[in-house]
Amino acid sequence: MISTQPGYISLYRSGELERRASLLEARLASCDICPRVCRVNRQENEPGGFCHSGRLPIVSSVCAHHGEEPVLSGSRGSGTIFFGNCNMRCLYCQNYQISQNWKEQKSKETDCHSLVRYMLYLQEELGCHNINFVSPSHFVPQIVRAVVEAVPMGLRLPLVYNTNGYDSIATLRELEGVISIYLPDLRYAFDKWAKKLSQAEGYVPVARQAIKEMYRQVGNLALDDSGVARQGLIVRHLVLPNGIAGSEESLTWLAKEISPAVTVSIMSQYSPAFRAGRVPLLSRSITRAEYKSVVNLLSDLGMENGWLQDLGAQEYYLPDFEREGHPFSTR
């Protein structure tokens, strides 16, 4: 039975949440928070780390997002906190304005007290259903510290870990009971493409092991009486042109190694953003035939839980982080 309150509240009361926050912060001194294991001293803002991030979290945008999966957005929106910078370098990143422009993002450094205020603003003033951390992999210590501070101030919403999937198992284990809903990408099935297009060597085994750990922690998706997610795993898979994503291999792995009942979100929104136009294989949107083949595969694998985006979704889901007030169109 799913608890009516997130697990981080009981972890806080027992002192375990504080213990984990301290352990994670100590790891910043020789950073191994993500699979890069850069070993730079982020506590002292030592340069050289792949994510170009130091001791303080970088918050690029905060909003009620109505374009997430229906069980996350609900009627009042998903309380989304977009972190700046990233531990991958996807040539087609739609969030490139904040993920790949680390010199400009430096000016958006904040502290954990401000991160707490953002979380409570999303909960109390905007009435969102959850707190949705986007690109959190390199800021896990800062997130957990903020949760420690936010619980006695009244934070009670489920936390969503919205990630590219390039996550450390050791770090994920510290999030057990803290995160209610895991929302990872399963971006590639072949490491050659992960390395060439995202500078993410070893992505496939790393992401697959991360998803297994996430599933172990939270299991299949569970909803409340209003149809809003309370706990569970949702795996996103972005269909890329020319079969680059390895959709058949990834979805077959999910069905066999996780469960055919796992919830999947199949995304058609690929658009040749950022530097994708320079790569012939990435320089166009996907075709109807390419998308249909993935949809048919779900049926063949007996995967019935989740969502399919409509073709043409890229126009609606493409963000603009220079837009005043909200990075997504609110039409």
By DSSP bridging, strand 222-223 and strand 59-65 are unpaired
* Of 218, 270, 261, the residue nearest 242 (C-alpha): 270
315 pLDDT tier (thresholds 50, 70, 90):
low
Q: How far apart are CA 35 and CA 141, in angstroms?
A: 15
Q: Which segment of 22-26, 102-106, 195-199, 219-223 scores lowest on mean pLDDT?
A: 102-106
Rounded to two decimals, the pTM is: 0.96
Homologous superfamily of domain range 7-317: Aldolase class I (3.20.20.70)
How many residues are recorded in the chain? 331
Of 107, 135, 117, give the one whose Cα is nearest residue 34.
Answer: 135
Amino acid identity, position 120: L
Domain residue spans in the chain?
A: 7-317
Q: Which of 187, 134, 186 is nearest to 162 (CA)?
A: 134
pLDDT of residue 313: 65
Average pLDDT, the chain: 95
Lowest mean pLDDT among 11-25, 126-140, 217-231, 311-325: 311-325
Q: Which of 205, 204, 212, 206 minimizes the C-alpha distance to 235?
A: 212
Among the residue ranges 51-55, 98-102, 137-141, the one predicted with the least confidence is 98-102
Is the per-residue pLDDT at 2 higher than 80? no
C-alpha 188 chain-centroid distance: 15
Q: What is the pLDDT of residue 322?
A: 77
| Type of residue found at 251 | L
pLDDT for 240: 98
Output the pLDDT for position 331: 42
pLDDT for the residue numbered 102: 87
Task: Give the span between the Cα atoms of 130 and 71, in whole angstroms.
Answer: 10
- 3-class DSSP string for the chain: CCCCCCHHHHHHHHCHHHHHHHHHHHHHHHCCCCCCCCCCCHHHCCCCCCCCCCCCCEEEEEEEECCCCHHHHCCCCEEEEEECCCCCCCCCCCCHHHHCCHHHHHHHECCHHHHHHHHHHHHHHCCCCCEEEECCHHHHHHHHHHHHHHHHHCCCCCEEEEECCCCCHHHHHCCCCCCCEEEEECCCCCHHHHHHHHCCCCHHHHHHHHHHHHHHHHCCCEECCCCCEEEEEEEEEECCHHHCCCHHHHHHHHHHHHCCCCEEEEECCCCCCCCHHHCHHHCCCCCHHHHHHHHHHHHHHCCCCEEECCCCCHHHHCCCCCCCCCCCCCC
